Amino acid sequence: MEPITFLWLAGGVVGTWFGAELLVRGSAHIALTLGIRPMVVGLTVVAFGTSSPEAVVSLVAAAKDSAGIAVGNVFGSNIANVGLILGTVCLLHPVRVLWREVRLDASFMVLATFVAAAFAMTGHLDRPAGAVMLGMLALSLFYYIRGGHAPGGDTALEAEIPDVPRPGLLWPIAQSALGLLLLVGGAHLLVSAAEAVALQFGISEEVIGATMVAVGTSLPELAASVVAVVRGHHEIGIGNIIGSNQMNLLFVLGGVCMFGDVEASDQVRQVIVPITLVFTVALIPMMATGGRVGRAEGALLLAGYAAFAAASYF
């Protein structure tokens, strides 16, 4: 990889990471200062904000006619969330799971995965498909807000909301604006680096999107999950995975489809989508039995992700 490409890649990851962080904090401060309930802030501003790297990168890729990166990033991020992130977290520290509290959220995650996969397997993702996915997202948010229940437990989202809003709106607005600029700029760098790597090594955009770009946009979830579990907030570790996977499929992919038709290549339909389904379905029995996801399961998930990444390139 040429030095300039590496710099683009590193700059893109850093830009999207810090941009998303600033945008979430600034937007949450604004909402809380205006008197919006913390639960609603968590289910809207924070939930959307934590998926903003995937969303902006995918939208930028689609706008630059790199649909392969956009689709690969969505499904690849979900594979990375389960295989790489949860695998790493569980290998470092077993994660307790209260199945009764997360079973509805986990079931909806599986449903969203199968719906998105069904659309992708047709080879053509269009606006009606995007409308269905965004409609599912709207229904889930309506249920969560009406029921006072957040994906993966209330703590998962409340923990990411700033504790005390700063007085006034000037600083939060400036923070949000700077975050948005960093996020969009970082996304452009990340997509440009991915295109350069694909061209230089003859690797398909779908593979680059599902591996390199997906890992880059999933780094915030990795950091948040590791810190949460180390501090004993196990519900956040699981909640981040469930909530992020739902948002990637319904919000990010649904939004990309609404901006224009997206083609799913043979590689997406025959490799990336089926592997996404395998990782998603395999997660259910791990969470539903034993009351925790232990180091053995973590090692299995990491090995599965390593095999997926290696097979994608070689």
- pLDDT at residue 22 in the model: 80
Amino acid identity of residue 89, one-letter, is V
Cβ atoms < 10 Å from Cβ of 300: 17
d(CA 233, CA 225): 9
Pairing mode, if any, of strands 124-125 and 262-263? antiparallel
Phi-psi region of 164 (alpha: psi -120 to 50; beta: other; left: phi over 0): beta
d(CA 225, CA 237): 4
Amino acid identity of residue 162, one-letter, is P
The H-or-E segment that residue 263 falls in is: strand 262-263
Phi, psi angles (nearest 5°) of residue 69: -65, -40
Structure-token pair, residue 95: 């994660």
Q: Which of 149, 125, 119, 114 is nearest to 43 (CA)?
A: 149
pTM: 0.81
Indicate the number of domains in the chain: 1
CATH number at residue 263: 1.20.1420.30
Using an 8 Å Cβ cutoff, are 290 and 93 in contact? no
Cα 251 to chain centroid, rounded: 10
Amino acid identity of residue 23, one-letter, is L
Phi-psi region of 65 (alpha: psi -120 to 50; beta: other; left: phi over 0): left
Structure-token pair, residue 158: 């409340």
Q: Which structural domain, as residue segments, surrounds residue 93? A: 3-313
Q: Which of 225, 280, 218 is nearest to 55 (CA)?
A: 218
The H-or-E segment that residue 129 falls in is: helix 127-147
d(CA 115, CA 254): 11
Say how many CA atoms lie within 13 Å of 38 toward its Cβ.
Answer: 12
Residue 95's beta-bridge partner residues?
A: 293
- pLDDT at residue 58 in the model: 85
Q: Which of 19, 11, 70 is nearest to 248 (CA)?
A: 70
User: pLDDT digit string (tens) for 205-245?
Assistant: 888 888 888 888 777 677 767 766 777 766 666 777 888 89
Structure-token pair, residue 42: 């968590």
Instruction: Decide: helix, strand or coil at residue 94.
Output: coil
User: pLDDT digit string (tens) for 155-185?
Assistant: 445 555 555 444 577 888 888 888 878 877 8
Residue 293's beta-bridge partner residues?
A: 95
Instruction: Decide: helix, strand or coil at residue 171.
Output: helix
Cα 11 to chain centroid, rounded: 19
Torsion 107-246-260-8 (CA) sign: negative
- The residues of the chain scoring below 50 in pLDDT are 153-156, 164-166
- pLDDT at residue 5 in the model: 79
d(CA 24, CA 14): 15
